[in-house]
Amino acid sequence: MTAPLPEGVSAEAMNSAIERFRRIVGDEWVFMDENLSPYDDPYTISNNEDDYKAYAAIAPHSTEQVQEIVRVANEFGVPLWPVSRGKNFAYGGAAPVMSGTIVLDLNRMNRILEVNEEFGYALVEPGVSYFDLYNYIQEKGLKLWIDVPDPGWGSVIGNALDHGIGYTPYGDHFAMQCGMEVVLPNAELIRTGMGAMPGNNTWQLFKYGFGPYVDGMFSQSNFGIVTKMGIWLMPEPAGYRPYLITFENEDDIETVTERLRPLKVSGVIQNGATVRSLVLDAAITKTKSAYYDGDGPIPPSVAKTMMADLDLGMWNFCGALYGPPPLMDTLWTAIRDSFADIPGVKFYFPEDRRHKFDLLLHRAETMRGVPKLTEFNFLNWDGGGGHVGFSPVSPITGADAIKQYYMVSNRVREYGFDYMGLLAIGWRDLHHVTVIVYDKKNPDERKKLDDLFNVLVDEAAAEGYGEYRTHIKYMDRIAKTYSWNNNSLWKMHETIKDALDPKGILAPGKSGIWPKNRRQS
């Protein structure tokens, strides 16, 4: 179904723009009507079928074509919604915030422009997936590791720009970017950092260049279209040893988190480690029906059965050691001794696991940078095939961890869902990522999920917990929680938006940032 025209754009202007787009990219790379299904929200939450619908989609293959498209969009006032690969499914996929927007699909711009083994970096275009980069490195025999999120089909650039995380020591993806090429909303092309100097040879080596550091402006924003980006890669370590530590009680999360903080801050825990809940881990290998056929979330007795069957705990800490064997031995001693006094704790290496398909064996691949899609098995847990992420951030403290856990899990279960959460340990922060699996085809369940999500947002904000990314449906809601000093930060965002994009053509509503011509409506 064709979306309605965006407010303020006439049918004549839209048709003229699309005709010009066809001349730029070719007829076969302009998609409309029945060919637009890949640009729908794959895990829709809204019960209004007109929400988040693209009017059309365009797939350029070069930066020059992107610039031409942006010029035409400015001429006719047609809004564009850039996506790298559109695989960020739990957050809206390729669908735009504002119906009637034209999706600018950068998937065809999939060139790996350089991989430098000596300095450990890659320069890529937005259509390059983790699978693409991994396979390239393997084919060339380079001694480099990439860092991957759970699904490997996403864009290296897109995930970094959305503040995605992974599981090696290079797990903070935006922190590992170095140097961008960006098409601004007026179609001008810039390079950030050292790339602004003609003939410079440190574009992917030194982030800052001279003057203000602006790269962060283009993450989670609508201030520009990133067409190239450098990403730092990890040199292959001298040794690698993944491990799993299980904890059998819900309340253990308080002690575990308190013990993790000094280990992470001091560098004893080297990687982006995660503490994962029982159902999330069980859903990698099993379905709910294998243990429980009743309504609502699983009862405690079933949880105990699952733990015994799968050799898991109520909480499961996946981590890895990297480096020469003596270093790994020393680090492991410190980690093991930090948790050894917790009643019921168990320690595992891959050779200790008895199941052929197992949580640790799956995470062992991810923590050495092998892209996979295995994590999506959790969609089969209870049928329905949809999921959304709720992701508040807190300090790495036991008090915050247990407070967030009960605050979120009690609400999730109250609304009839199983709690499937993980606590990702960052440099100084704790990301509490709760996966809510639901029946995407059931309007009543979508409504229930929407009600739950809004309650979670309000309760988290009341405790000072802000989300670090969100589904397109909730971008305005989350932006409004960042309201210190009369919304001064978002007022600054709007000032920047109006200066760079006076016609408001680039991604209206992205991250709650609206252009002046659409701000009131």
Place of tokens 């929400």: 51
CA dist 172 to 164, 233, 244, 269, Å? 7, 12, 21, 14
Tokens of 487: 């919304």
Max intra-chain CA distance, the chain: 72
User: Counting beta carbons within 10 angstroms of the beta carbon of residue 416, is it exposed (0 to 12), middle (13 to 18) or buried (19 or more)?
Assistant: middle
Question: How much is the pLDDT for 486?
Answer: 97
Of the listed 468, 477, 482, 518, which one is catalytic? 468
d(CA 242, CA 470): 30
pLDDT at 444: 95
Burial status of residue 149 (CB atoms within 10 A of its CB: 0-12, 13-18, 19 or more) = buried
> Which stretches of 278-327 are assigned E, i.e. beta strand?
315-322
Task: Give the torsion sign (CA, 469, 472, 474, 480).
Answer: positive
Q: Is 91 annotated as catalytic?
A: yes
pLDDT by residue for the chain (521 residues), tens only, comes to 567 899 899 999 999 999 999 999 999 999 999 999 999 999 999 999 889 999 999 999 999 999 999 999 999 999 999 999 999 998 999 999 999 999 999 999 999 999 999 999 999 999 999 999 999 999 999 999 999 998 999 999 999 999 999 999 999 999 999 999 999 999 999 999 999 999 999 999 999 999 999 999 999 999 999 999 999 999 999 999 999 999 999 999 999 999 999 999 999 999 988 999 999 999 999 999 999 999 999 999 999 999 999 999 999 999 999 999 999 999 999 999 999 999 999 999 999 999 888 889 999 999 999 999 988 898 899 887 899 999 999 999 999 999 999 999 999 999 999 999 999 998 899 999 999 999 999 999 999 999 999 999 999 999 999 999 999 999 999 999 999 999 999 999 999 999 999 999 999 999 999 999 999 76
Structure-token match 């992470």, residue found: 264
Which tokens belong to 474? Answer: 């909730």
Q: Write down the pLDDT at residue 137.
A: 98
Looking at residue 507, its pLDDT comes to 98
Strand residues in 239-391 grouped as ranges (E): 240-247, 274-277, 315-322, 346-348, 385-390
291 is catalytic: no
Catalytic choice (261, 446, 469, 474) = 469
Q: What is the pLDDT of residue 2?
A: 66
292 vs 94, 301, 302, 303, CA distance in Å? 35, 10, 7, 10
Place of tokens 């922060």: 429
Residue pair 52/509 in contact by the 8 Å Cβ criterion: no
Which position among 43, 52, 55, 91 bears the catalytic label? 91
CA dihedral 415, 419, 424, 425 (to 10 degrees): 100
- Of 244, 271, 317, the C-alpha closest to 172 is 271
Radius of gyration of the chain (CA): 23
Strand 80-83 to strand 102-105: parallel, antiparallel, or no bridges (unpaired)? parallel
pLDDT, residue 383, reads 80
Structure tokens at 114: 């350089």
pTM of the entire structure?
0.96
468 is catalytic: yes
Query: Which residues make Cβ contacts (< 8 Å) with residue 331, sequence separation at least 6?
Result: 268, 270, 321, 323
Tell me how far apart the alpha carbons of residues 443 and 44 are, in angstroms, rounded to a whole number.
Answer: 10
Token digits of residue 316: 């499961």
Take residue 494 and report the two structure tokens written for it.
């709007």
Instruction: At 429, give phi and psi (nearest 5°).
Output: -130, 160
Tokens 């064709």 sit at which residue? 2
* H/E element, 364: helix 359-366
